[in-house]
Amino acid sequence: MSLDAIFFDVDDTLFSTSEFAEKARHNSCVAMIEVGLKLELADLMSELSEVVSEFTSNYDHHFDQLLRRIPRRHYKGVNPAILVASAVKAYHDTKASELQPYPDAFDLLRDLSRHEGLVRGVISSGLTIKQAEKLLWLGVYRFLTPTAIYISEQIGINKPNVKLFRRACSDLNLKPPRTMYVGDRLARDIDPANALGMVTVHLKRGGRHATERGETAPTYTIGDFEELREIMIRDFELELPPPRPRAPVEGAPAPAPSAEGADEPADADGPDVEAPSLEGAARSADPRPAGER
Ligand SMILES: [Mg+2]
């Protein structure tokens, strides 16, 4: 059996979206306290978690809503715009330090990119700019086939609709049985890809959706990308450097608890990178050109 293409989900597949969001929100709350918000960090974080689950992770004004919920006496004498801007800035700053791919995902994508004939893409659910931005922050865009990036908002079809997967295959003239899809969610990634007849790989790395169920079974289940590398060498005869020996997992830190509640809407793959809510304030703090924010 050989492969013509491999597509990846993004959130909680190429990186730990849940861990990133937790760190970014933590840093935002710390920043608000530093500029004068008088609240305990734990209370502020718990309030922010509620905002995210009530307004969804793709909402653009989490910090404005957070502030509206807090009695004014807790930030007497501080301009609320400064509080919101400090949170937005801290969130953006966290991207630079913490929006990192799983190292084994990065290594596999890099090695796969040496196979020029193999299409390497993503099929991702989310907002166009936010998902595109993640690929750049993660440093994996350079390993992808530029015409193989499918983001639900941009295509107008969302997971788990099989049409999204079919579009990717038909646009690129790919036969589903020779196309692999790797994702962390059974119902939203594996079921639709199975329905089309793709080779499916379920990444079980803990995380928020570990207990979620699907209707169909994946072709493969993996715990990390070294296992996928092994499968590609063994079953698809892809020439790749051999998998690295496993590091002991005992005592490894558990994944950070998610800030998302069970009531996160079904159309979100993962928490998203907040857009600045006070545009002017955030822009002055952000050195990147407007188009990249
Ligand atoms: Mg995912």
Q: How far is the CA of 37 from the centre of ligand 1 (A)?
A: 34
Residues that place a CB less than 5 A from ion ligand 1? 9, 11-13, 184, 269
Phi, psi of 113 (to 5 degrees): -70, -10
Residue-range domain boundaries for the chain:
5-16+102-236, 18-100
Q: How far is the CA of 164 from the centre of ligand 1 (A)?
A: 15
Percent of the chain with pLDDT over 70: 84
Cα 187 from Cα 94, distance rounded (Å): 30
Percent of the chain with pLDDT over 90: 78
User: What pLDDT was estimated at residue 289?
Assistant: 41
Q: Write the pLDDT tens digit of every residue in 215-242.
A: 999 999 999 999 999 999 999 999 999 9
For residue 212, what pLDDT band results from cuts at 50, 70 and 90? confident
Q: Write the pLDDT tens digit of every residue in 49-77.
A: 999 999 998 898 999 999 999 999 999 99
Q: Regarding the domain delimited by 18-100, which CATH topology (the fold level of the hierarchy) does it fall under?
A: DNA polymerase; domain 1 (1.10.150)
For residue 206, what pLDDT band results from cuts at 50, 70 and 90? confident
Domain spanning 5-16+102-236 has what CATH number?
3.40.50.1000
DSSP 8-state secondary structure symbol assigned to residue 293: -
User: What pLDDT was estimated at residue 249?
Assistant: 58
Dihedral class, residue 274 (left if φ above 0, else alpha if ψ from -120 to 50, else beta): beta
Q: How far is the CA of 51 from the centre of ligand 1 (A)?
A: 22
Instruction: Report pTM.
Output: 0.82
Under 8 Å CB-to-CB from 271, ≥6 apart: which residues? 11, 17, 18, 20, 21, 52, 57, 258, 259, 260
Average pLDDT of the residues of the chain: 88
For residue 246, what pLDDT band results from cuts at 50, 70 and 90? confident
Q: How far is the CA of 291 from the centre of ligand 1 (A)?
A: 25
Report CA torsion sign: 40, 45, 46, 48.
Answer: positive
Q: How far is the CA of 80 from the centre of ligand 1 (A)?
A: 34
